[in-house]
Amino acid sequence: MDKVFKALADSSRRKLLDRLRIRNGQMLGELCEGLSMTRQAVTKHLHILQRANLVATRWRGREKLHYLNPLPIHEIAERWIKKFEHGRLQVLADLKKNLEGDTDG
């Protein structure tokens, strides 16, 4: 999970994930189009994303296609976000109870 958080802690890599979210299954050249990053930088970022399992690749003939793999993000959501969400909902429920209690008083 450390690898996922580290991979996500970079705006260039998040941008690459966003590009795959909009259009899945792109080649390196397509992913580089219109970006200010060098091809070498994109390659390096993709490598980090792959090691974190956020990007999966498949070959189609001689073309290497990159796919967004959302599962690690999903696992983070299950493990971390939902648990915090539960706490926040409890806070809102308590707040409502207090405010309504005030109105009564």
Partner 1 sequence: MADSRFVYVTYIRTTPQKLWNALIDPTFTRQYWCGTHQESEWKSGAEWKIMIPDGRVADSGKVLEIEPERRLVLSWRNEKKPDLRAEGYSRATFELEQQGDSVKLTVIHEMDKAGSKFIDAVSNGWPLILSSLKSLLETGESLVETREWPKGM
Q: Which is nearer to partner 1, 15 or 72 (CB)?
A: 72
Taking the least distance from each CB to partner 1, the nearer of 64 and 97 is 64
Nearest distance, CB of residue 84 and partner 1, angstroms: 17
DSSP assignments along 1-15, one per residue = -HHHHHHHS-HHHHH
Rounded to a whole number of angstroms, the minimum distance from the CB of residue 1 to partner 1 is 11
Backbone angles phi, psi at 63, to 5 degrees: -95, 130
| CA angle in degrees (0–180, nearest 5) for 55-56-60 | 130
Nearer to partner 1, 75 or 94 (CB): 75
Query: In the bound complex, what is the minimum distance in angstroms from residue 38's beta carbon to partner 1?
Result: 25
